[in-house]
Structure 1
Amino acid sequence: MAPDRRVILGIDVGSTAVRATAFAVDGTGRHQAVREYPLLEPAPGWQVQEPDVLVAATLAATAACVADTAGAEVVALALSAARHGLIGLDATLTPVTPLLTGRDSRSSEAARELRASGQSRELHRLTGTPVRPMSPLCKLLWFARHEPRLCAATRWWVDLKDYLLHRLTGTMVTELSAASGTGLFDVRRREWSRTILDLAGVSESQLPSVLPTTAVLRLSAAVGRAVGLPSGTPVVVGAGSGPSGSLGAGAIDRTVGLLTLGATGAVRTVVAAPLVDPDESFCCGALTEDAWVVGGAVRNGGDVVRWAARTLAPDLAPSPGDDGETPALLDLAERVAPGSDGLVMLPYLLPDQGTDEVAGPPGALLGLRAAHSRGHLARAAVEGVCLQLGELCDRLAALTPVDDVRLAGATFRSPLWRAVMAAVLGRPARVVGATDDATLGAAALGLFAIGEAADLREAVTRLAPQCADTDPVPVDPALAATYRGLRTKLPALVSLACRTGEILAETTVGLSARARP
């Protein structure tokens, strides 16, 4: 039998790079191209990108990936992209705003007001999206208050993927996964909420129609020429990066939790229908009509140890091209006893997702003594990150049963990270790959959408048959006991750090006032 020469392209447009991966339909190989772009901060707390820069990077990565397939037939493109973004377009479909990313926090005040008014609980219940600065709802409230003329000139409000789909296919639409991350969409009725649209000051006609994530559009002739593909090549609209990452990691069983750790961290699981937590913390987003990903994220992940390397041990910091890893510093950390000899790090170098830029616990090193070395500081950083992820796992398990936890992400290449994380969880966990591969998830969803796989699990297995589960990371009982003790003290330590931060802020304000002429 002749080999199957067909490939499907999974394209994930993330916060700092687009990755295009061509997967052989028979699972015999893959080719990947990556194009990076900057995350801009024109004002404190503003995190934006130029939409057309992201489009150009997407086209460049796609063209490079197509060229690497050496003439194989591309059966479809399937998209994945970061959610919670917002772009304003005029009547000619030209951007009148940059892309306000999910990291943009200019709408913190609007989010605080909604929570203070008591409206946030009902908004979260309807939409599955917490009332936080990341939410496009809060971003729209900011625009209404600060840029009324721009709002009047805006014909469309769209997500990042909506804009990409328009540029690739000429069609202005959105899809269920993107819509369910806007804070404007009633996830149970599967429609834009008129009540929330009135609150945001926008009309339904300013928002794209909502397609299933498995809907198929067609590549335009102009884009086809640019990337080396035939006009009319199927384009599967796909889901968000988080849901796609869960699918790519194979973590789509109802009782499996996926814990990912790179620069940031996240905990997710899949449920059959939208699920909203009473604490208004977790976000719920669609993978398909009957598979919804619920979970939460932390901004302070593996980057905390990289900060420690840059700040405390520059001679051990990674060199350019080392993929941001810190093996030398982690080697020192491995020589330190669990618990870091009484040193505890609260790793909130950045305000965590779920808090405002001016609120939430500050980062802190508690129990610092002269005997502590930089190895202690590094180990305390690893332990601090794992402890906050453990708390997130516990909260998710309280919301929906999670019997098995999978670990994914480049950070878990480190034996220390794996051992500490498993011990904090208090049970074995499997490492499912170097990363939660959103491009694999996008491609698998695409394969299912075009009828080449009976279900999502078959689609993942066909494209990546070599991605079998590894043996569980064993749990050291002594290590687990140490971290159980730390976890019982963590709430009190966080409260102490918050109060200390408030006192210092009051002192700083007082000193500044006295220093004014």
Structure 2
Amino acid sequence: MQQGDSAPSQVIIGLDVGTTAVKATAHPIGGGRAITVRREFPLLRPAPGREEQDPDQIVDAVLAALADLAQQLDGTPVLAISCSAAMHGLVGLDADHRPVTPLVTWADSRSTDECAALYESSQAFDVHHLSGVPVHPMSPLTKLMWFARHDPQARVRWWVGLKDYVVWHLTGRLTSEVNSASASGLLAMHTRQWDEGLLELAGITADQLADVHEITDTLPLGAAAAGRCGLPAGLPVVLGAGDGPLANIGVGALVPGVGGLTLGNSGAVRTFVDEPGVDDRGTLFCLALTPGSWVVGGPLSNGGGVISWLLDLLGFDLLTEGPDRSFADLFELAGRVPPGSEGLVMVPYLIAERAPLWDPSLHGTLMGLQRHHGRGHLVRAAMEGVAMQFAGITDALGQVSPVTSVHASGGAFRSAVWAHIIASVLGRPLTVVGSDGSASLGAAALGLLAVGRATTLDEGLGLLRPGVDQGEVVATDPQEVELYRRLRADVPQLLEDQLQLAAAFPRR
């Protein structure tokens, strides 16, 4: 605790394992200043299209973050650890639960050919409507198809996700929960059970997968993990859920009609529904959550990472002042450029994109580039391009559960310019409820429900962050909203042009 802060009487830890870092946050019960410890781990790119990680490096980072946090808490009672993790990762384990494959992350595109085969055979539609997960290299289903075809692993006894492996090291029990299992593409969204037909397609059997529990189920912290992180053995570990659905909880987007939008390196728009279902065009995922709710939405692979790429590309000379200052300067340049970027349009597909089209063959493109366009135009066009992808997802949600307002969070919302662009492109009320940490907060609120300190998610959230859904409403100009509406009408033709380019210049 910082000098002058009064120690909270009790905290709950939200453990959020992301794509490149883990954040362990102690949330005071009853409100107050949270304490966060962050530990990073590398993302490996051994070949084009490969996005891998060493799962044991991630576990080491998790335990180190918890140990540092426990030291900072200095004896403050901890109620539980509640888990959140990036979704769609896949790792193979041997009979002793040791990794025999790398963690193949959501961003890995090695299974592009397997996806294409499912579309060509017309199986993709059935897979999507059965599992709720669109056919895409993101999906563990298609990753398993790739392993079965290219790299059969005789030593693989278990196929698990990232959080499953972290929970194994925390508790000594190999388990999954319904939300992460649903994201694998192997679970039937209506029955919430492993589907035999999907397992056969993937080339595995149900006994190679962990048992599926509810997201509120708990396991005791094991002695080995407790010894490494300085927390008491037996402490409840709440299985939790994927980082996206938990982010919706963290921003207070808890009812149908309220969208939760997150924008970090990647992004997503999601809303909770009472009945499972997806749209006819294949834009949306539908994942099981609690016994009476599902989460529907669409994820972007290319979010704030596009701005990071531009920062490297433009060779900004401000890095000596730190990356945060450099990003702020990029956003300031974008703010000087009028809406529409004076005719410059960017389709921001730098890595295989997911929603709204789920076509990993599409390339990123700049169109309308002219001599008068400068760095600010490039940055604003990228921000507008990402915003238009969000709008496509939000429109698709209208088939299942129309979104009338949006609660937003993520590191990108430190930029008022980007918040304004997204609000104008969406054409809906947008409330920024936090710049970061929504998944951890959502995990903590879920944890309070799991251990009986709250009777609803809303109550749990209120115990940790009163008024979390009362953030800053982003003002928009009706003329800008109309301008972006007209620009969006041109996007389908631009994407059709993209498909033709992709056929002429395949992604390498």
Q: If the length of structure 2 is used for normalisation, what is the TM-score?
A: 0.94
Q: Distance in 1 between matches of 2:325 and 2:271?
A: 27
Kindly indicate whether the alpha-carbon contact (under 8 Å) linking 1:329 and 1:375 is maintained by their aligned counterparts in 2: yes
Alpha carbons of structure 1 residues 105 and 485: separation in structure 2 relative to 1, 3 Å = same
Distance 1:396 1:320, change over 3 A: farther
The reply to whether residue 205 of structure 1 matches residue 207 of structure 2 is: yes
Q: Could you say if the C-alpha distance between residues 436 and 284 of structure 1 is closer, same or farther in structure 2, counting changes exceeding 3 Å?
A: farther
Q: Which residue of 1 aligns with 2:39?
A: 35
CA contact (8 A) 1:249 1:436 kept: no
Measure how far apart 1:209 and its partner are: 0.9
Distance in 1 between residues matched to 2:81 and 2:261, nearest whole Å: 27
Which of 128, 139, 142 is the matching residue for 2:143?
Answer: 139
Q: Which stretch shifts more, 127-136 or 462-471?
A: 462-471
Whole-angstrom distance in 2 between the partners of 1:79 and 1:96: 24
> Which amino acid in structure 1 is aligned with residue 59 of structure 2?
V
Q: Give aligned pairs, total.
A: 502
Amino acid at match of 2:227: R
Match of 2:134 in 1: 130
Residue 9 (structure 1) shift: 0.7
Counterpart code for 1:258: G
- For the pair shown, the structure with the greater C-alpha radius of gyration is 1
| Structure 1 CA distance for aligned equivalents of residues 35 and 367 of structure 2 | 46
Which shifted more, 83-92 or 330-339? 330-339
Counterpart-to-counterpart distance in 1, 2:432 and 2:274: 24
Alignment of 1:134-173 (within 5 A): 134-148=138-152, 150=153, 152-173=154-175
**Does residue 205 of structure 2 align to residue 194 of structure 1?**
no
Alignment-derived partner of residue 315 in structure 1: 317
CA displacement 1:452-498 (0-9 Å, x = unmatched): 00100010110112635124211201211211111111111222233
Distance (Å, rounded) in 2 between the aligned partners of 1:116 and 1:96: 32
Alignment match, 1:7? 11
Indicate the residue corresponding to 1:463 in structure 2: 464
Q: Which residue of 2 aligns with 1:235?
A: 237
**One of 255, 258, 261 as aligned partner of 1:256:** 258
Q: Could you tell me whether the CA contact under 8 Å between 1:133 and 1:356 is conserved in 2?
A: no
Are positions 1:387 and 2:398 aligned together?
no
Q: Which amino acid aligns with 1:305?
A: I
Deviations 1:342-368 (A, max 9, x none): 2222222223125778612x2222222
In terms of mean alpha carbon deviation, does 289-298 or 492-501 score higher? 492-501
Answer yes or no: is the 8 Å Cα contact 1:427–1:475 preserved in 2. no
**Secondary structure class of the residue paired with 2:278:** coil
In the alignment, is the contact (CA less than 8 A) between 2:81 and 2:236 conserved in 1? Answer: yes
C-alpha distance 348-322 of structure 1, shift in aligned 2 (>3 A): same
Given the alignment of the two structures, is residue 431 of structure 1 paired with residue 436 of structure 2, yes or no? no
The residue number in structure 2 matching 1:69 is 73
SS in 2 for 1:315: coil
Which one-letter code corresponds to 2:302 in the other structure? Answer: N
Contact 1:251 1:269 in 2 (8 A): yes
Q: CA deviation at 1:3?
A: 8.4
CA distance in 1, matches of 2:358, 2:430: 32
AA at the equivalent of 2:51: Q
Report the CA distance between 1:99 and its aligned residue. Answer: 0.9
- Which stretch shows the higher mean deviation, 323-332 or 159-168? 323-332
Tell me the residue number matched to 1:363: 364
User: Hey, what does 1:109 align to over in structure 2?
Assistant: 113
User: For the Cα contact (< 8 Å) 1:83–1:240, is it kept in 2?
Assistant: yes
Q: CA deviation at 1:181?
A: 0.8
Cα deviation for residue 505 of structure 1 reads 5.7
Over the aligned positions, Cα root-mean-square deviation in angstroms equals: 2.1
Unpaired runs of 5+ residues, structure 1, are 510-517
Choose which of 53, 69, 87 in structure 2 pairs with 1:49. 53
Structure 1 position 147, deviation (Å): 2.0
TM-score, normalised via structure 1 length: 0.92
8 Å CA contact retained: 1:87, 1:97: yes
Q: 1:199 to 1:365 in 2, by over 3 A?
A: closer
Contact in 2 for aligned 1:108/1:357 (Cα 8 Å): no
Where does residue 3 of structure 2 map in the other structure?
Answer: none
- Contact persistence 2:221–2:236 (CA under 8 A): yes
CA deviations over 1:111-161 (Å, ceiling 9, x no partner): 11112111122211221111111111111111111123x1x3211111111
Cα offset, 1:56, TM superposition: 0.7
Whole-Å separation in 1 of the counterparts to 2:140 and 2:99: 16
**What is the identity, as a one-letter code, of the residue corresponding to 2:60?**
A
Query: Are the equivalent residues in 2 in contact too, given 1:243–1:286 (CA < 8 A)?
Result: no
1:246–1:436 contact (8 Å) kept in structure 2? no
Contact between 2:407 and 2:469, CA under 8 Å: does it hold in 1?
no
Maintained 8 Å contact 1:306/1:324? no
Distance in 1 between residues matched to 2:391 and 2:283, nearest whole Å: 15
Residues 239 and 286, structure 1, Cα contact 8 Å, conserved in 2: no
1:60-97 alpha-carbon deviations (Å, 9 max, x no partner): 01111111112111111111111111111111111111
**What CA distance in whole angstroms lies between the structure 2 residues aligned with 1:259 and 1:350?**
20
SS of the equivalent of 1:288 reads: coil
SS of equivalent to 1:380: helix
Q: Secondary structure at the match of 1:326?
A: helix
Task: Determine the C-alpha separation between the residues in 1 that align with 2:178 and 2:79.
Answer: 23
Residue 98 of structure 1: how far off its partner (Å): 1.1
In the other structure, the counterpart of 1:512 is: none
Pairing 1:12-27 to 2, within 5 Å after superposition: 12-27=16-31
CA distance in 1, matches of 2:377, 2:126: 45
Match status 1:87 vs 2:88: no
Distance 1:371 1:320 in 2: 28
For residues 326 and 289 of structure 2, what CA distance do their matches in structure 1 show? 31
Name the counterpart of 1:515: none
Mapping for residues 468-483 of structure 1, pairs under 5 Å: 468-483=469-484
Instruction: Answer with 49-58 or 296-305: which moved more.
Output: 296-305
Distance 1:248 1:202 in 2: 35
**After superposition, what is the alpha-carbon deviation per residue over 1:279-318, rounded to whole angstroms, capped at 9, x for unaligned?**
22322223322232111111222232333333235235x5
Does structure 2 conserve the Cα–Cα contact (< 8 Å) formed by 1:313 and 1:374? Answer: no
Deviations 1:167-224 (A, max 9, x none): 1111111111111011111121121111221222211111111110000100111211
Gaps in structure 2 of 5+ consecutive residues: 1-5
Q: Distance in 2 between matches of 1:190 and 1:310?
A: 43
Give the Cα–Cα distance (whole angstroms) in 1 for the partners of residues 117 and 414 of structure 2: 42
Higher mean Cα deviation, 431-440 or 243-252?
Answer: 431-440
* Contact kept in structure 2, 1:80 and 1:239, CA below 8 Å: yes
Structure 2 counterpart of 1:221, one-letter code: A
